[in-house]
Amino acid sequence: MKLRSRHLLALEGMSKDEITLILDTAETLKEILARPIRIVPTLRGVGVVNLFYEASTRTRISFELAEKRLSAEVVNFSASTSSVKKGETLKDTVRNIEAMKIDMVVVRHQASGVPYFLTQCMKASIINAGDGAHEHPTQGLLDVFTVREKYKRIKGLKVVIVGDIKHSRVARSDIWGFTALGADVSVCGPTTMLPLEIEKMGVKAYSDLDQALEGADVVNVLRIQLERQRGSLLPSLREYSNKFGITRDRLNRLNQNFTIMHPGPINRGVEITPEVADGPHSVILDQVTNGVAVRMAVLYLLSGGEGKVE
């Protein structure tokens, strides 16, 4: 089996089978990461550029490692060192990059829809590494992968995403990814951070954390993004922490074998207490490990690979 598209722009609209293919491929590739020499020649000669218009540590390093472990030629570009400051348009920038024979572009940008825009400007395969508050599909995939690895299934699990749903691309990709595989997904946050008609995405919406957590298996705690707080969506972080912070006391509402996730970076003591973040149910570092395998799977499949890795 192959993926339908040459690009990975969003998890919205992706079928269960396609997502499963990526996860299964990632499972195989994860074994490579456990070997003493963690490198395979699969993408030898494939030019990949990491085009980051927004600051990122984890995602950029994760993609770069995934590319290098598949033996791709990797070029990094970040907005602060580029010609963006000289007033060049995005379209001109990417067309210039493409003129240097690039096969794949991994893009992060603060504006929703930029990965789609790039598919209209150039021939390379485009991988969305986060566009505005729209989607972050590889994060969604690694979250689903991490949960599947632990429970051996997704169907029927109760997943709760807590935080600023309105401005979170992780929330959107998680919603599409988990619901496609049959999980029961809820979102929870202050009413000012729940976007209009979110229920139409197939989720339940709560502003009462205890209610949302009742009987949940997986809690994905989103970072409260201080840099996104335009206006007054929140009176204070203190108040947020009191009403929505994930503390040990709140965990007794969850199912026994519960899981705590966080896409990082963590504001310790704001959205989650250190004891929960570092506790036995936390898979936060597993998520990071799995991120490399999932991104390798995506790169491999989009470059034309089929189900089995040679």
Partner 1 sequence: MNNYEKEKGVVSEFDLAIVGGRVIDPESKTDRIADIFIRDGVIKRIEKPKSKLGAKETIDAKEMIVVPGLIDMHTHLREPGREDEETIYTGSCAAVAGGFTSVCCMPNTHPPIDNQETVKFVYEKAKQAKCKVYPIGCITKNQMGEELTEIYDLVQAGVVAISDDGKPVSDPQVMRNALEYCRMFDLPVISHCEDLNLSGSGVMHEGFVSTSLGMSGIPSVAEEIMVARDIKLAEFTKAHLHIAHVSTEGSVELIRQAKKRGIKVTCEATPHHFSLTHEIIRTFDTNAKVNPPLRSKKDVEAIKKGLADGTIDCIATDHAPHSIEEKDVEFDFAPCGMVGLETALGLVVTELIEKKILSWSQAIAKLTINPAKILNLNGGRIKKNFPADITIIHPKTLWVVDPTKFQSKSKNSPFGKKRLRGKVFCTIVGGEVRSRE
Nearer residue to partner 1 within complex by CB, 198 or 294: 198
Nearer residue to partner 1 within complex by CB, 228 or 250: 228
Rule CB under 8 A: say whether 24 interacts with partner 1: no
Among 2, 4, 38, 91, binds partner 1 (CB under 8 A): 91
Those residues with Cβ within 8 angstroms of residue 260's Cβ, 6 or more apart along the chain or in another chain: 219, 221, 246, 272, 276, 277, 279, 281, 282, 283, 284
User: Pick the catalytic residue: 136, 167, 223, 295?
Assistant: 136
Query: Which two three-digit tokens encode residue 140?
Result: 């969604």
User: Pick the catalytic residue: 35, 85, 86, 152?
Assistant: 86
CB of 114 vs partner 1, minimal distance in Å: 5
**Cα 186 to Cα 87: distance, rounded to the nearest angstrom:** 42
Rule CB under 8 A: say whether 193 interacts with partner 1: no
Query: Which two three-digit tokens encode residue 268?
Result: 């310790």
**Cα 236 to Cα 255: distance, rounded to the nearest angstrom:** 31
Q: How many residues bind partner 1 (CB under 8 A)?
A: 29
CB of 196 vs partner 1, minimal distance in Å: 6
Query: Which two three-digit tokens encode residue 53?
Result: 């218009």
CB of 13 vs partner 1, minimal distance in Å: 10
Beta-strand ranges (E) seen in the chain are: 47-52, 73-78, 104-109, 125-131, 158-162, 184-188, 204-206, 218-221, 259-261
To the query of whether residue 152 is one of the catalytic residues in this protein, the response is no
To the query of whether residue 108 is one of the catalytic residues in this protein, the response is yes
Q: Are 136 and 161 in contact (CB under 8 A)?
A: no
Q: What is the DSSP letter of 249?
A: G
- Contacts with partner 1 in 159-178 (CB under 8 A)? 166-167, 169, 172
Rule CB under 8 A: say whether 96 interacts with partner 1: no
**Cα 23 to Cα 29: distance, rounded to the nearest angstrom:** 10
Among 27, 33, 73, 132, binds partner 1 (CB under 8 A): 132
Q: What are phi and psi of 153, to 5 degrees?
A: -160, 165
CB of 108 vs partner 1, minimal distance in Å: 13
Rule CB under 8 A: say whether 113 interacts with partner 1: yes
Rule CB under 8 A: say whether 85 interacts with partner 1: no
Residues that bind partner 1 (CB under 8 A): 12, 89-91, 109-114, 116-117, 131-135, 166-167, 169, 172, 195-198, 200-201, 230-231
* Catalytic machinery residues: 58-59, 86, 108, 136
